[in-house]
Amino acid sequence: MKPRTDSRLFLIAMLATLAAPIPFANAKGTNAEQGTEFFHVFQGQRRQLTLDPTRFAVLGEDQVTRSLSVEADLPIPGWKLIRPAPGARSSDAVVTEIRSFAMREDLGFVSPVFVGLDGGPVIVTPTLLIRIDPEIAEADAERMIADQFNGEIIERDWANMQGAYRVSAASRSGFAVLDAANALAETPGVLWAEPDMLFTGSHGLLPTDPLFSQCWGLNNTGQSGGLPGFDMDCPEAWDVTTGDPSIIVAVLDNGVDPTHPDINQIGGADFTTDLDLAGAPVNNCDSHGTAVAGCVSGIINTIGGVGSAPGCVVASARPFISNVPCDGQWSSFSSWTVDALAWAESIGARISNNSNGYGFTSSAIASMYSSTKASGMVHFASAGNDSSTSMSYPSTLSSVNGVIALDRFGGRASFSNWGFGAAFSAPGQSIVTTDRQGTLGYSTTEYTQVNGTSFASPYTAGVAALILSLEPGLAPTEVELAMQTGATDLGAPGYDAEYGWGHVNALASIDRSPGVFQITAPACDSGLAGRTIAWQDSGFATDYSVEIATDIAFTNVEYAQTSIVASQHTVPIGALSPCATHYIRVTAINTFGQTVATVNPCEVAFAFPGDINIDGVVDTADLGGLVGSFGGPGPFADINGDGIVDTADLGALIAEFSQSCN
């Protein structure tokens, strides 16, 4: 990798620091000393953290923590939630107790607990995630880090992001690590810096009765009182393609059953501290990912349900550890999601799906989503199930397409979140999909029926996989555009917060067929005003523009239609040379810049305007034609195109009399 040698930004950063020195441990607004004012820096902005005064977290050996008032063991080894001493249930008291415990050498690390977006715990860890502007020389960047942290760099250019570091801090205090991360995050030249937070999240899942045999979201025939035709038109799309197995959808979840007979998949990977089972479920509560995967690539094989892209494959990326007993919650570190996305990129995945809501917003995660999209990956995430206008993270990221859930009756599911920033809507209620085999899934069979935005999102991801199966060269923004133009509009016309771009439609999103494009009027009619070309079209799935070109002129007609329409355009005669053979070509071009139809309506030797009979010479035959049409409306012999054959036309003919192309 090319070394970073430019030190100018570093010098600017250092001058700024020297101009306003701040003793980080005692600065106004820092977390540790103020006691009640806590924040972290997310994408350059301070985000408030709410302290949970009822508990704190420790990392230590069991024999050491056994003497403490353990409230709960977290599913990540070594971490425990501790109850403060009786009477120490205020913010100031718990801060004091945390500082006291941080001085104990027998404990590895002590951290405050903050209240997450989902109400679960958010815990500072001794690992930091940092990214310095790649323009700053590596030695200078690492000096900036060393000035803040007495620790060790674990990984350079982490997750293939230039200038990104994972750093192990020497401090045993979560407050000290958080303060130092915030100070570094607000230093010029630093793109982001944050602790590798341990946080919880949840699946967008509301299980219902198993073994419902009709997949209405794929093909709604009115079953169970639903609205016939309110579906994604998947069977019609499968007539074009069921998906290409070279298109990989990475499923970020708690594991996918690797031996399920009805999921089209390749080997996965585990990014947690659990036993590495190559992306398979590990504990008894790891069932969600299998249900999600079936919505993408459930196989057409007569034994169960079907996904929206049955010919494509999923790859399980497991960055979450489910809580036991099963409560729909999980625990994770920010770095695990980043590593999962980096792995997905490394195996050539073109799409990712994350049907989860995080309790913490991470700059590192946001940066990785943005980076992998720039590299060619399209991202989808569930909007959440709180009946709220506040969508869950990471569906709120601009690089991620958040998906709203629909019911079978033609509207948004009652439980679904929505809001500006949501991209699409898709079926998410009473969804039949695959279940973990054996007795550990949601049912005792290999299939289940579920509700949730968790399943609207992978349905949508599958449609993106169908698009890339036909056109693998499309960029993520082009895939998104195909889905936007192909979506069935719901709610207010165009984009709206209630449904995003509308109900995802597989057929309309993949259809690039030429349709019908017909010239309906002569392209080479006479007239001084020009040659008029009229056309009619039908069958185009996306908007398109019309280009009209001659050998010496070009016109781009602003024209966008998706239904049977008729229109016309006039090619000015002044742009054409008399006596030369010219062509006129009409081309329809879709929104991806692809030619969907080309028509060559005429190739003609254009004569002088007075050459009414177009025989190459203005003579008495033309004069006779004009006299015979005198007083009429034209267009024959209406040389000046004013709608009547009169003395003005006679004058124009006389002026050209005897002109010849022969």
DSSP 525-541: ---TT-EEEEEEEE--S
Q: What is the pLDDT of residue 660?
A: 85
Q: Exactly one of 454, 469, 509, 526 is catalytic; which is it?
A: 454
| Residue listed under structure tokens 């067929």 | 513
Question: In this structure, which topology does domain 202-510 adopt according to CATH?
Answer: Rossmann fold (3.40.50)
Q: How far apart are CA 270 and CA 273, in angstroms?
A: 8
Judge: domain 516-605, CATH 2.60.40.2550. Answer: yes
Q: How far apart are CA 286 and CA 331, in angstroms?
A: 12
How far CA 616 is from CA of 479, 528, 653, in Å, comes to: 52, 16, 14
For 105, the token pair is 């050498």
Q: How far apart are CA 125 and CA 448, in angstroms?
A: 38
Active site residue 253: yes
pLDDT digits (tens, 9 = 90+) for 194-207: 999 999 999 866 54
Residue type, 261: P
pLDDT digits (tens, 9 = 90+) for 209-230: 343 345 677 677 777 788 888 8
Q: What is the pLDDT of residue 501?
A: 95
Q: Exactly one of 52, 118, 233, 253 is catalytic; which is it?
A: 253
Could you tell me which of 288, 300, 441, 457 has the C-alpha nearest to residue 379? Answer: 457
Task: Specify which residues 405 forms β-bridges with.
Answer: 426
Judged on CB neighbours under 10 Å (0-12, 13-18, 19+), 649 is buried
Q: How far apart are CA 457 and CA 542, in angstroms?
A: 23
| Residue listed under structure tokens 């959440």 | 384
For 77, the token pair is 């080894």
| Residue listed under structure tokens 């990475």 | 250
Q: How far apart are CA 396 and CA 357, in angstroms?
A: 10
Q: How far apart are CA 475 and CA 591, in angstroms?
A: 13
Q: Determine phi and psi for 40, rounding to 5 degrees.
A: -135, 165
Torsion of CA 174, 180, 182, 183, to 10 degrees: 160
pLDDT digits (tens, 9 = 90+) for 97-129: 999 999 999 999 999 999 999 889 999 999 999
Of the given ranges (154-158, 261-265, 458-462, 642-646), which has the lowest mean pLDDT?
Answer: 642-646
For 216, the token pair is 């209405």
Judged on CB neighbours under 10 Å (0-12, 13-18, 19+), 131 is buried
Residue 489 has pLDDT above 60, yes or no: yes
Contact 201, 118 (CB under 8 A): yes
Q: Exactly one of 288, 379, 503, 582 is catalytic; which is it?
A: 288
The helix or strand, by DSSP H or E, that contains position 79, with its residue range, turns out to be strand 79-82
Contact 132, 364 (CB under 8 A): no
Task: For residues 584-605, give the mean pLDDT.
Answer: 61
Residue 558 has pLDDT above 50, yes or no: no
Contact 389, 418 (CB under 8 A): yes
Active site residue 526: no
Task: For residues 457-463, give the mean pLDDT.
Answer: 97
CA 26 to centroid of chain Cα atoms: 42
How far CA 605 is from CA of 137, 219, 638, in Å, comes to: 67, 55, 19
Beta pairing, strands 351-354 & 248-252: parallel
Residue 265 has pLDDT above 70, yes or no: yes
In this predicted model, which residue has the larger pLDDT, 174 or 14?
A: 174
Q: How far apart are CA 396 and CA 422, in angstroms?
A: 7
Q: What is the pLDDT of residue 15?
A: 34
Judged on CB neighbours under 10 Å (0-12, 13-18, 19+), 347 is middle
CA 441 to centroid of chain Cα atoms: 29
| This prediction's pTM | 0.75
Using DSSP, state whether 516 is helix, strand or coil: strand
Task: Specify which residues 554 forms β-bridges with.
Answer: 549
Judged on CB neighbours under 10 Å (0-12, 13-18, 19+), 647 is exposed
Domain ranges for the chain: 8-196, 202-510, 516-605, 608-662
Q: What is the mean pLDDT of the chain?
A: 84
Residue 306 has pLDDT above 70, yes or no: yes
pLDDT digits (tens, 9 = 90+) for 89-98: 678 888 999 9
pLDDT digits (tens, 9 = 90+) for 60-95: 998 888 889 999 999 999 999 999 987 666 788 889
Could you tell me which of 374, 428, 415, 416 has the C-alpha nearest to residue 398? Answer: 374
Task: For residues 302-306, give the mean pLDDT.
Answer: 80
Question: How confident is residue 156, by pLDDT bands cut at 50, 70 and 90?
Answer: very high
For 394, the token pair is 């990471």
Of the given ranges (19-23, 554-558, 620-624), which has the lowest mean pLDDT?
Answer: 19-23
How far CA 239 is from CA of 125, 242, 267, 485, 512, in Å, comes to: 51, 7, 28, 20, 14
Judged on CB neighbours under 10 Å (0-12, 13-18, 19+), 93 is middle
Active site residue 454: yes
Q: What is the pLDDT of residue 67?
A: 86
Plot region of 571 (φ>0 → left; ψ -120 to 50 → alpha; else → beta)? beta
Task: For residues 173-199, give the mean pLDDT.
Answer: 96
pLDDT digits (tens, 9 = 90+) for 343-389: 999 999 999 999 999 999 999 999 999 999 999 999 999 999 999 99
CATH of range 608-662; options 3.20.20.190, 1.10.1330.10, 3.60.15.10, 2.102.10.10:
1.10.1330.10
For 27, the token pair is 């600065």
Residues 394, 128, 49: CA angle, nearest 5 degrees? 55
